[in-house]
Amino acid sequence: MKKLLFVLAFCALSVPAFANLVIAPSVGYSSSAVNATVPNSLARDTESSSMVLDMKLGYVLPMGLYLGGMYSHISSESCSGNICSDSSGFLMGPSLGYFSMTGFYTLLTYHIMGESGDTTKFTGGKGPQVDFGWVFPISSYVSIGPQLTWRSVEFDKIENAGLTQTTDIKQTDINPYISLWFMF
């Protein structure tokens, strides 16, 4: 048992010296439209779109283990009839995952803090994000490829006009991304 612990400790201490630094921005865009044709109703045609920029920073160890963190910037626009509103927000948290030498990767990020909205602000955002992707090399340091992301974030407070209330809002979505990987 002591020999096994010694070998594991030796591997854990020697692996970071051969790690690759990774900077990986990803961009995702989604939009939706609802056409309402209900007579004598308050229902209106609505359109919404959102753009997400995920910035990952971490290390890929020789055995493929990815350790790092992520910062996400979210901007969205929503229109109902002739009334449009913009909002922005952020999420951030640590990431753990696997990167294979063929370019396939999967990452789990747990967002530990986040906000959404401008005039009505949702705060205390927490929740998981799972990324699946495959990048193809452009050069020895740069790769590009598609990514599919599932994110589920729960906000616990809402702030509006200086008042803060407890809430339980959960936002879950699946979006395609384009991802760049810079490995040094």
Over the stretch 127-149, which tens digit does the pLDDT of each residue have? 999 999 999 999 999 999 999 99
Residue 174 CB neighbour total at 10 angstroms: 11
Residue 16 scores a pLDDT above 70: no
Read off the pLDDT band of 8 (50, 70, 90).
very low
Q: What number is the average pLDDT over the span 57-84?
A: 92
For 63-121, the DSSP string reads TSEEEEEEEEEEEEEEEETTEEEEEEEEEEEEEEEEE-TTSEEEEEEEE-EEEE-SSEE
> Does the pLDDT of residue 2 top 80, yes or no?
no
